[in-house]
Structure 1
Amino acid sequence: MFDFVHNIDIWAAISFILGFIFVIIEMFFPGFGLPGVVGLIFLFIGIVLTAKTLTDVLVLLAIILLILAVVLAIAVRSASKGRLKKLVLTDSLEKESGFEGTEDFTSFLGKEGVALTALRPAGTAEFDGVKLDVVSEFDFIEKDAKVKIVKVEGRRIVVRKID
């Protein structure tokens, strides 16, 4: 039924073996992608050397995809169990370690400035020559009104109108 089994010679077998090895290396140690590309080229060469008909090509592709799917499932399972340190981020990104996800605007807390746009409730205000996106604490604040920063939550800067 499948004539390609008899068509596999030593070079096709070496191509398939090298192709699987390189693709599996890429699955377990992801990086630039060079081993994966080289592995796919070897698998393609193996198919070209082995298949004589379109049916042979389709069956070989199905077999290759099935084998790679099983190996990928094993790689994902190993990563989820924490066995693959390369795939799982182990460093924690804490402020004490020097990591900051957004800019720190807490130094602006308590500063007074002027609303450059109407705040309904969001808009722009200027504090000591620095333009910031702000949100009014309560209701509408008209343009050119004096405002004060009363709360900073990450990138969200809350202002209150002052008289």
Structure 2
Amino acid sequence: MELVSFLSGISLAAVLFFSFGFLLVVIEMFHPGFGIPGVFGGIFLILGIVITARSVMEALILVSIIIAVLGVALTLVLQSATKGRLSKILILRETQKKETGYTGSEDLQYFVGQQGITLTVLRPAGIADFNGIKMDVVSEGEFIPKDEKIKIIKVEGRIIVVRKIF
């Protein structure tokens, strides 16, 4: 009986605050970003509690209900993020493969065999020029003076290994 009297005492403003609050928080869950909908949704939910609750116990009950509803909404959002429509929005499905002509900044294999000149002393690391492209290089452990001709013999990730040309 008390629940019926409580529900009948909810004003139109409280219903609007709760409705807009839940709506904005759920929008924030589906479209994470700057948090503006989530913040305003939280403010609306708090305002709904403030104008509805007549005691601390009613406020705690409303907070519990709101947390439960948002927990269910979050569960649905996470399920959608892994299997549903949301995963199509948030997860990039296309790949850029070397076979289709894409090369990344980490793929420097095409430099193997090119010749260049040292711009600094290699002890064993330094800078070299390969057809106008300045690159950080490493010798095989030997000292190579400045202005010496070198050749790229191996690339391991971002490490370019060179050898002096005699």
Q: TM-score, normalised by structure 2?
A: 0.70
Matches within 5 A, 1:1-163: 6=6, 8-30=10-32, 33-52=35-54, 56-84=58-86, 85-95=88-98, 99-102=102-105, 105=108, 106=110, 109-114=113-118, 116-120=120-124, 122-136=125-139, 138-144=140-146, 145-152=148-155, 155-163=158-166
- Give the counterpart letter for 1:73 in structure 2: T
Distance 1:162 1:24 in 2: 65
TM superposition shift of 1:104: 6.2
TM superposition shift of 1:99: 4.8
- Give the counterpart letter for 1:119 in structure 2: R
| 1:92-114 Cα deviation digits (max 9, x unpaired) | 23346665431765357412211
Aligned CA-pair RMSD: 3.4
Consecutive unaligned residues in structure 1, runs of 5 or more: none
- Give the counterpart letter for 1:88 in structure 2: I
Of all paired residues, the percent bearing the same amino acid is 45
Distance 2:158 2:130 in 1: 15
TM superposition shift of 1:22: 2.0
Aligned residues: 159
Distance 1:134 1:15, change over 3 A: same
Q: TM-score, normalised by structure 1?
A: 0.71
Distance 1:111 1:38, change over 3 A: same
Distance 2:57 2:115 in 1: 74
Task: Give the 3-state SS of the residue equivalent to 2:137 in structure 1.
Answer: strand
Distance 2:89 2:153 in 1: 44
Consecutive unaligned residues in structure 2, runs of 5 or more: none
TM superposition shift of 1:116: 1.0
* Structure possessing the higher relative contact order (Cα contacts under 8 Å, 6 or more residues apart): 1
Kept in 1: contact 2:117–2:130 (CA 8 A) = yes
